[in-house]
Amino acid sequence: MSENQQPLSDEEYKKLLTPIQYEVTRNKATERAFTGEYWNVTDSGVYKCICCEIELFSSDTKFDSMCGWPSFFDALDLKNIVEESDTSYGMIRTEVTCKNCGAHLGHVFPDGPAPTGLRYCINSASLNLKREY
């Protein structure tokens, strides 16, 4: 799927994604801390949505938050994400989803570094790193 294409059906996503990618992106699950593919990766590149390949985050804004998930202090382009209130599990958080396909990405918290003070805590299972060489 590319930008501005219609999202796929559940059955199409199940064929395209691994079980953990499907659970995270389509059912708002969370991968266990320190288990995802990208939590400690420092390679240069652009992180894209695993479901639709829209560009979401840059390695230039990735930092080690020591939380066990990939963390970014800014989105590559804020028009590519949606932030919504999430009160599940008795917490008040801000959920981050892909604007293009609605994939659940993770959450954003106000405890990140300068210059934004934000920490986009994103599941590796929702991302695909396009490395720059």
Q: How confident is the model over 71-104, as pLDDT tens digits?
A: 999 999 999 999 999 888 888 999 999 999 999 9
Report, as residue numbers or ranges, the catalytic residues.
121
Size of the chain, expressed as the number of residues it contains: 133
Q: Is the peptide bond before 7 cis (omega within 30 degrees of 0)?
A: no
Q: pLDDT band for position 38 (50/70/90)?
A: very high
pLDDT at 133: 66
DSSP state of 34: T
Give the tokens for residue 25.
Answer: 């992106």
Is the overall model pTM greater than 0.95, yes or no? no
Phi, psi torsion values for 81, nearest 5 degrees: -130, 160
Cβ(48)–Cβ(54) below 8 Å: yes
| Closest alpha carbon to 115 in 39, 44, 63, 57 | 63
**Assigned fold of 10-131:** 2.170.150
